[in-house]
A and B are shown apart, each in its own frame.
Chain A
């Protein structure tokens, strides 16, 4: 799962995008991992994440399988972090998404002190992750660089669309929906926050960053690149 690695943007565009995630390795440290992963997610809540993720069941804003008609006028777009923690029923990747470095640093430091034995990764700019590690007094173990998209790039859409759609590395956020949301924000049919919430619901592992999406949509309102 490279679901967070290949987000497009330069280093500065990740200033509000920090994903700290925990994962157990089968046969190595998966015994008792379910409780530890739940603990990891619960520990994140006081640090004000913008999303929490369960790779199997989704994030803090999910689609409804039985939506009532009134939701078209008063849909709830507030995240439900407790539901993510309580619904974490399988050993899979647990992720906490932050929109500022200080929160990510402090959370990571707390995770280090909890010493759960799970692999913990930080996905953001190279420098941002280094700073988080430095803050916690941890030397980086390994690093996986994203080299960006290559090949038949003429098949890709414009950069604002890509900035939005690549925040779901599994490709569940369609380029066409991202483009539609940019258009709707331009037309004034939805606020950037509402448009970001539609995109967020499609991310099935909860790593979508609605705060960054809102900023990108605001940026795209005036001039789509």
Chain B
């Protein structure tokens, strides 16, 4: 993302809306500027701000007059008055920043917007997590911290060594050149993302082991982590297996996403192959 200096009036509104804090008013040119190393191409500025098409010269003059008189105009805080944002043409590998950060862009590997994962949301039709299994979503970087692929790589290697199976229909897995070793395409290591989710599945007996493994990973990486733990309920709709393990580990289970089981397979045509997408540059 870039900001056209000919249009920008340095109102500063955009400096607050960037989730990564990557926009600032450059003291030399006196225009809003994007720190491209920290920008994750989430497009929150471009898509989230309302836009006016005011004349930049007029706005700058008005701002100077107000400033001189120590007056404060109190405009709407979510507006770019001159439509100064201009998306860059993104190429590989930087394009992965947008794929993982802009929720409006579906991931090629799963076809799902957002972070590109289905977790237990479709478990009633996918059967992804069955009785006796636990699905983990290990998300890095949110809220508002971000994550570098090199940190995700550390986590994947650690998890692979523990013999977990990575979810095939997952954007991180689709970037792996060696799924069994958890190795991600080296070309993306210098890319920063808003957040990314590793999805794994293990036998329920390994729940505590995986949680402790994630605790160890957290000490090795420079970001925040949030764990989602998905499980299949029994025929009465109860979970008497996983919740007690998590509570024993000290977690308070305040919030959950509950799949109500209303889904069923309704397609009349056969599903296409579910094999992982080959790693490499997105086509």
Q: Which residues from chain A sit less than 8 Å from chain B, CB to CB?
A: 1-7, 9-11, 14, 23-32, 55-56, 63-69, 71-72, 75, 92-93, 108, 111-112, 115-126, 129-130, 132-133, 136, 138-153, 155-157, 162, 165-166, 169-177, 180-181, 184, 189, 198, 201-202, 204-205
Contact of A125 among B103, B121, B254 (CB under 8 A): B254
Q: Which residues from chain B sit less than 8 Å from chain A, CB to CB?
A: 15-19, 21, 42, 44, 47-54, 74-79, 101, 103-104, 110-126, 129, 135, 137, 139, 141-145, 194-195, 197, 214-215, 218, 221-233, 235-239, 242-243, 246, 251-269, 271-272, 274
- List B contacts of A56 (CB < 8 A): 104, 113
- List A contacts of B76 (CB < 8 A): 71-72, 75, 198
CB <8 Å contact, B226 and A150: yes
CB <8 Å contact, A138 and B143: no
CB <8 Å contact, B77 and A204: no
How far apart sit A157 and B260, CA to CA, in the bound complex (Å)? 34
CB <8 Å contact, B16 and A142: no
How far apart sit A32 and B265, CA to CA, in the bound complex (Å)? 12
Beyond A146-B228, A202-B17, is A155–B223 a contact (Cβ under 8 Å)? yes
- List A contacts of B224 (CB < 8 A): 149-153, 155-156
How far apart sit A201 and B49, CA to CA, in the bound complex (Å)? 8
How far apart sit A148 and B253, CA to CA, in the bound complex (Å)? 9
CB distance from B101 to the nearest CB of A (A): 8
Most A CB atoms within 10 A — which of B53, B226, B255? B255
CB <8 Å contact, B51 and A67: yes
Beyond A7-B255, A124-B255, A171-B19, is A152–B227 a contact (Cβ under 8 Å)? no
Beyond A23-B122, A119-B262, A142-B120, is A126–B256 a contact (Cβ under 8 Å)? yes
Contact of B229 among A130, A147, A175, A176 (CB under 8 A): A147
CB <8 Å contact, A202 and B257: no
Q: How many A-B contacts if CB must be within 8 Å?
A: 355
CB <8 Å contact, A1 and B114: yes
**Nearest residue, chain A, Cβ from B47:** A204
CB <8 Å contact, B262 and A142: no
CB <8 Å contact, B117 and A140: no
- List A contacts of B246 (CB < 8 A): 145, 147
Beyond A27-B271, A126-B255, is A148–B75 a contact (Cβ under 8 Å)? no
Extra inter-chain contacts (10) besides given A2-B117, A112-B260, A153-B224, CB under 8 Å: A28-B271, A117-B264, A121-B258, A144-B231, A145-B229, A145-B256, A146-B227, A170-B194, A172-B48, A177-B77
How far apart sit A130 and B265, CA to CA, in the bound complex (Å)? 24
How far apart sit A171 and B194, CA to CA, in the bound complex (Å)? 7
How far apart sit A71 and B77, CA to CA, in the bound complex (Å)? 12
How far apart sit A12 and B129, CA to CA, in the bound complex (Å)? 29
CB <8 Å contact, A145 and B142: no
Contact of A189 among B74, B197, B230 (CB under 8 A): B74
Beyond A119-B263, A140-B233, is A6–B78 a contact (Cβ under 8 Å)? no
